[in-house]
Chain A
Amino acid sequence: MSETSIIDQQAFTNTSTQIENPEFKKARLFNPDGTDELTERKLIGGNSTNLIQLNNTKYKWATKLKTTMYANFWIPQKNSLQSDRFDLLTEDQKETFTGILSFLIFLDSIQTANVPNIADYITAPEVKMLLAIQTFQEAIHADSYQYIIESVIPRELRNGIYDRWRDDKILFERNKFIAGEFQAFLDNPTEQGFKRVLIANYLLEGLYFYNGFQFFYLLAAQGAMTGASRIIKLINKDELTHVTLFRHIISETFTEADHDWVIEMTKKAVDQEVAWAHHIIGDRILGMDKKSCEHYTKHLANRRLVAIKIDPIYEGVEENPYRHLEERADMHGEGNAKGGFFTDSASYNQSNAVGGFDKF
């Protein structure tokens, strides 16, 4: 309890320097006096009726993003994990594998619960809708980790993974940082708190998962856990759409005045991610080490900052040390990951990923 209250205070101190916006409040649910005029539409603090009318949208990026998110639809059970052999991993790999799973499953569980809290304050229906899709995807992710745990990990180890977020000190600390921001806002819903939640979320989706993801790709590159890696790849694809979504929300609502505290939060997130990676990956894994984890995290942080128009804060990290792993996972539609014939379809899309069905 005492930890949480420190964060509360921290959040409070931060907000106290800002002038409060009296219009900052939850969007009304039933709002017959609202307007659907595009000129009046606002992301936050608007006066929407909540009617989802997608031929009448202000934020065009939302429609395009919606198509991509639909196209990504998948369920974990369609991917066979029968050839994933946990017993063939080295002891160090096992330790890292379970450690990363326990972190990821916590993150996505929190996401499933928290994204609706963010959506509550959004007054553009086309964007609110995307958050609903995201919430659903986060649930699929949490389910996926559980599916991996239940399918490949021996029974006696499973509970330990679910409990670890509380038992492992370093893991607890970093979960507390992000979840604490979310909780602080729920306890005291100010506009500044909301903005901090946006950044916390952006960092969570754009930074926190990634050393973990790369570990799975690394295992796959070494011929292990290819089924789990395929699922991670699908999650990763979803996460990239979430990053895009929050990048847009942030770009629409932030100004230069916000940059300093965003940088400060990013630094803290980077430190936490690096500490965690050192703890869970360390120098015990062939193909990853402390140095490259740190380098990668900073490289990624720069990329995320640039995306929301803030200059890079780390030097000498232009090169991506895990480029070979990311290329393998083909996160950028370059078509350089090719599934073998006898594996499950490594990538699949919903049929709305292409148009033109009405032309014939």
Chain B
Amino acid sequence: MLVQKRDGSTEQFDLAKIKQVIGWASQNLQVNPLQLESKISAIFNDGVKTEAIQENLTYAALSMTTAEEPHWSYVAGRLLMMKHWKETDETRQGQGFAKFVHSQVDAGLYAPHIIEHYSDEELNLAGRLLAPERDLDYDFAGADKLIKGYLVKNETPQIAYLMCALLINSQSKEKSLEFVQDLYDGLSLRRLSLATPFLRNLRRPEGNLSSCFIISMNDDLDSIFDNIKNFARISKEGGGCGVLLSNIRASGSWVRGRKDTSKGVIPIAKLFNDTATYVDQGGTRQGAVTLALDVWHADIHAFLEMQTEVGDQRAKAFDVFPQVVTPDYFWEVDGENGDWHLFDPYELRTVLDIDLVNCFGDEFVKNYKEAVKAYEQGKLQIVTVVKARELIKEIIKLHVESGLPYLFYKCTVNRLNPNKHTGIIPCGNLCVESYSNVLADEEAHTCNLISVNLANQPDFFALEISCRTAVRALDYAIDLTATPIRESNVHNNKYRTIGVGAMGLNDFLAARNTNYESGMDLINELFEEFAYACISESIKISEERGAFEAFQGSMWDTGERIEEYAKHASDPSRWESLQVAINKHGIRNSQIMAIAPNTSSSIIHGCVASILPVYSALFYDESNHRAVPIVPPYLHENPLGYKAYKHFSKYVMNDIVSTVQRWVDTGISYEMTFDLNNDQEDAFYRYQALRDAWKKGIKCIYYTRNVDLDSSCTACAN
């Protein structure tokens, strides 16, 4: 039998070669290579191409992946990487790193600033850091995602990481390679994970780096359409966007003095919806936007119905992610099963000169009560009175149906806003973990993200290096490229918001033979160290380069922010000395930590996403490009360490998240997972879980996932 090689020539089929490849890919893994060999007999026929053999082997290994034999996915990953290596042979055996970089720049694949910043000698020196064998540590899902979604033509993963490290370091004042080494090691040992825009765009010409934006619009035509354009530009660059709609007058409100003329927020929501589907980065990824509306807004019902199947299809916006902003007072009113008033912000502004958007806490309560009083005196026309609880029921129904809307606990967020002295945080970003002051048409929240992979931190010392490297990389990155909109630049200069996240907490615990329930103290200790290291590094950079512009009067400046930390600290004096350092040097970034969902990057890293328990010990990822088995890294060693999320009490989950939240100065993308097959987890349970989250100081609820009803078996009962 003949096989056809990559270059078109043929040779005699050699089974020994195949066995060799399988043996190589199985090295040091807990699998039986013979099992894979037995799967392949069917795929050979005369003239088969070597690529086809390789592809078949990879796919066969993949299909053998189970919770009992998880390592097959690593075999498949290596086979895939081997194929990729073959395709980049020239790169790997080339004549030094500098030459490679030049050829990439010449071909228009890399932006030229790399060779403007570094001499050939420096590049070749950096090239020595490359550790190619680290390419072989990926499972299939990780390797596939990385190769398909992130690598530039001719690159291997290691080259991509080194390039990112070099480019971020180009903002460094010193030319030393010390930081390059730290960052490269962090990335290539998968202790640090760059957010998607970084890892994908940094090396390319005209690549934007920012992940998260929040924009807000005023209640006039120019502002509305300017912000649609802003959103389009953000989407074009691959950023996720939050948009506050609460300033917009409600349906039935006045336009040019005529009542019943305004169409409210829904048509605007639809414009954002269609902009998101139009600006899709050449078909690769739709624009992504969360539209936020305050729970007191008169259009809240229509807003909640925006994504249900029933009703007028013209009032539907299926491609956006709704978010409901709730103040403390809303939950307090619900606690007494009281009435809740829905207002038109335009009428409040024009008749009463009250603004419910730019306030929180006591000030909100005062304004809200004043509006209620005015209504009772007959001064307001567009008011609806509902039970607060009915609105919550409505939200829970939607959670069951579509996993949305997100919930934003506005007062909790703003009480801990370090920049209360200059503004307000009106809503969350796309993944509700990153937010800061936003001012309509003037300042847009802008944030970059890097996550620390807890699964791969051998000890707290390594963790500290990872955190410090992450903070520095993010701060450098702010100055690396222009942002897509003007409001971002203003914000960047003023606040220098960054977000160091964490993922692989489940793995961290499993590797240490503990779990969420009994490891609560360890979790607390871990995140205290995490916060301490991040804040320390931001102070150090401030010492070198100065504090963020709005530092004076911020909670960092007044000492309130550190006080909050010291309250919970194992050793408060350590935190107090941090404050001394802040008083002396300031701090570089007004917000530093934010725990993102990391859905994609956790797959590249082969760890459990975010700080939450694994979805299930083996599941199939269905994000855009592939649907492949995902197995957590320590499953083989500690299968009991991976209890599926659905088996956790939501009260316990709230405890875990609020413990972590103490240390994380911005937010956490907190996904809640409910099991529809579990009768205990009914609507009332969900209601209690949401209230419990609010009481425990959780800032937001991100996606609500539902484990589906078992269609084949619900009727097996009799």
Q: Residues of B contacting A360 with CB < 8 Å?
A: 389, 393, 683-684, 687
The chain A residue sitting closest to B337, CB to CB, is: A360
Interface of chain A residues 273 through 324 with chain B (CB within 8 A) = 286-287, 289, 291, 324
Question: 1/0 contact trace for A344-360 toward B, CB 8 Å?
Answer: 11111111011111011
Confirm or deny: B65 has a beta carbon within 8 angstroms of a beta carbon on chain A.
yes
Confirm or deny: A32 has a beta carbon within 8 angstroms of a beta carbon on chain B.
no
Most chain A CB atoms below 10 A, which of B401, B600, B624, B628:
B401
Interface of chain B residues 604 through 653 with chain A (CB within 8 A) = 615-616, 618-630, 644, 646
Q: Residues of B contacting A354 with CB < 8 Å?
A: 400, 674, 676, 681-683, 686
Q: Which among B14-22, B345-353, B520-528, B703-711 touches the partner chain?
A: B703-711
- Do B715 and A349 have beta carbons less than 8 Å apart? no
Confirm or deny: B499 has a beta carbon within 8 angstroms of a beta carbon on chain A.
no
Knowing A223-B625, A339-B622, A353-B676, say if A64 contacts B319 (CB, 8 Å). Answer: no
Q: Residues of A contacting B709 with CB < 8 Å?
A: 68, 71-72, 333, 349, 353
Q: Residues of B contacting A345 with CB < 8 Å?
A: 402-404
| A-B interface pairs (CB < 8 A), number | 206
Confirm or deny: A341 has a beta carbon within 8 angstroms of a beta carbon on chain B.
yes
- Do B711 and A241 have beta carbons less than 8 Å apart? yes
- Do A286 and B59 have beta carbons less than 8 Å apart? yes
- Do B59 and A349 have beta carbons less than 8 Å apart? no
CB distance from A74 to the nearest CB of B (A): 7
Q: Residues of B contacting A356 with CB < 8 Å?
A: 682-685
Confirm or deny: A188 has a beta carbon within 8 angstroms of a beta carbon on chain B.
no
Confirm or deny: A109 has a beta carbon within 8 angstroms of a beta carbon on chain B.
no
- Do B619 and A335 have beta carbons less than 8 Å apart? yes
Confirm or deny: A256 has a beta carbon within 8 angstroms of a beta carbon on chain B.
no
The contact of A65 among B393, B681, B715, by CB within 8 Å, is B715
Q: Residues of A contacting B679 with CB < 8 Å?
A: 355
- Do A340 and B620 have beta carbons less than 8 Å apart? no
Q: Residues of B contacting A164 with CB < 8 Å?
A: none
The contact of B708 among A222, A237, A350, by CB within 8 Å, is A237
Confirm or deny: B541 has a beta carbon within 8 angstroms of a beta carbon on chain A.
no
- Do B717 and A64 have beta carbons less than 8 Å apart? yes
The contact of A333 among B59, B65, B674, B713, by CB within 8 Å, is B713
Confirm or deny: A73 has a beta carbon within 8 angstroms of a beta carbon on chain B.
yes
Q: Residues of B contacting A348 with CB < 8 Å?
A: 401-403, 706
CB distance from A356 to the nearest CB of B (A): 3
Confirm or deny: A61 has a beta carbon within 8 angstroms of a beta carbon on chain B.
yes
Confirm or deny: B714 has a beta carbon within 8 angstroms of a beta carbon on chain A.
yes
Confirm or deny: B87 has a beta carbon within 8 angstroms of a beta carbon on chain A.
no
Report the bound CA distance from A350 to B676 in whole Å: 11
- Do A333 and B708 have beta carbons less than 8 Å apart? yes
Most chain A CB atoms below 10 A, which of B397, B624, B646, B709:
B709
The contact of A64 among B286, B681, B683, B714, by CB within 8 Å, is B714
CB distance from B551 to the nearest CB of A (A): 34
- Do A331 and B712 have beta carbons less than 8 Å apart? yes
Q: Which among B102-110, B277-285, B294-302 touches the partner chain?
A: B277-285
- Do A332 and B286 have beta carbons less than 8 Å apart? no
Q: Residues of B contacting A327 with CB < 8 Å?
A: 618, 620
- Do A324 and B65 have beta carbons less than 8 Å apart? yes
CB distance from A306 to the nearest CB of B (A): 13
Q: Which among A75-83, A142-150, A178-186, A189-197 touches the partner chain?
A: A75-83
- Do A67 and B615 have beta carbons less than 8 Å apart? no
CB distance from A218 to the nearest CB of B (A): 10
CB distance from A42 to the nearest CB of B (A): 18
Report the bound CA distance from A348 to B398 in whole Å: 10
Report the bound CA distance from A222 to B620 in whole Å: 12
Knowing A338-B705, A356-B685, say if A343 contacts B402 (CB, 8 Å). Answer: no
The chain A residue sitting closest to B52, CB to CB, is: A286
Report the bound CA distance from A328 to B397 in whole Å: 26
Report the bound CA distance from A340 to B403 in whole Å: 12
Most chain B CB atoms below 10 A, which of A217, A289, A327:
A327
Interface of chain A residues 198 through 245 with chain B (CB within 8 A) = 217, 220-223, 226, 229-230, 237-238, 240-241, 243-245
Confirm or deny: B597 has a beta carbon within 8 angstroms of a beta carbon on chain A.
yes
- Do B597 and A341 have beta carbons less than 8 Å apart? yes
Confirm or deny: A3 has a beta carbon within 8 angstroms of a beta carbon on chain B.
no
Q: Residues of A contacting B626 with CB < 8 Å?
A: 221-223
Knowing A64-B714, A332-B713, A349-B708, say if A286 contacts B55 (CB, 8 Å). Answer: yes
Confirm or deny: B583 has a beta carbon within 8 angstroms of a beta carbon on chain A.
no
CB distance from B481 to the nearest CB of A (A): 23
The chain B residue sitting closest to A221, CB to CB, is: B627
- Do B624 and A68 have beta carbons less than 8 Å apart? no
Report the bound CA distance from A332 to B65 in whole Å: 19
Most chain A CB atoms below 10 A, which of B681, B703, B713:
B713
Confirm or deny: A23 has a beta carbon within 8 angstroms of a beta carbon on chain B.
no
Q: Residues of B contacting A67 with CB < 8 Å?
A: 714
Q: Residues of A contacting B618 with CB < 8 Å?
A: 327, 336
CB distance from A341 to the nearest CB of B (A): 5
- Do A335 and B389 have beta carbons less than 8 Å apart? no
Confirm or deny: A38 has a beta carbon within 8 angstroms of a beta carbon on chain B.
no
- Beyond the given pairs A328-B622, A331-B711, 9 more chain A to chain B contacts, judged by CB atoms under 8 angstroms and listed by A's residue number, are A60-B717, A287-B59, A328-B629, A334-B616, A339-B622, A339-B623, A348-B402, A353-B709, A356-B683
Point out residues on A near B: beta carbons under 8 Å.
Answer: 60-61, 64-65, 67-68, 71-75, 78, 80, 82-83, 217, 220-223, 226, 229-230, 237-238, 240-241, 243-245, 248, 286-287, 289, 291, 324, 327-328, 330-351, 353-357, 359-360
Q: Can you offer 12 A-B residue contacts whose CB atoms are under 8 A?
A: A61-B715, A82-B283, A223-B627, A330-B708, A333-B677, A333-B710, A349-B709, A353-B706, A354-B683, A354-B686, A355-B683, A359-B682
